[in-house]
Copies of this chain bind each other. A is one copy, B any other.
Amino acid sequence: MKRPLEPSAESRGRIVGITDGVFAIALTLIVLEIRVPSHEAVHSEGELLSAILALAPRFLTYALSFLTLTIFWFGQQAQHGLIAKSDRRLATLNLCFLAFIALLPFSTDLLADFLEFRLAVLVYWLNLLMLGLTLLASWRYAEKNGFLAEGVDAQTTRTVYLRIVKAQILWAISAALCLISPLLSVGFILVVQLVYATAPRSSLLRHIVG
User: Contacts A6-B81, A26-B28, A48-B117 given; 13 further ones with Cβ under 8 A?
Assistant: A1-B153, A4-B81, A4-B82, A14-B20, A18-B23, A18-B24, A22-B28, A25-B25, A27-B95, A34-B106, A36-B113, A73-B95, A88-B199
Using a CB–CB cutoff of 8 Å, the interface residues on chain A facing chain B are 1-6, 8, 10-11, 14, 16-18, 20-32, 34, 36-37, 39, 42, 45, 48-49, 52, 62, 66, 70, 73-74, 77-79, 81-82, 88-89, 91-92, 95, 98-99, 102-103, 105-106, 109-110, 113-114, 117-120, 123, 149-153, 155-156, 159-160, 163, 197-199
Q: Are A156 and B1 in contact (CB under 8 A)?
A: yes
Partner of A70, one of B42, B48, B92, B160: B92
Q: How far is the CA of A152 from the CA of B106 in the complex (A)?
A: 44
CB nearest to A108 among chain B residues: B36
- Asked if A81 and B10 make an inter-chain contact with CB atoms under 8 angstroms apart, the answer reads yes
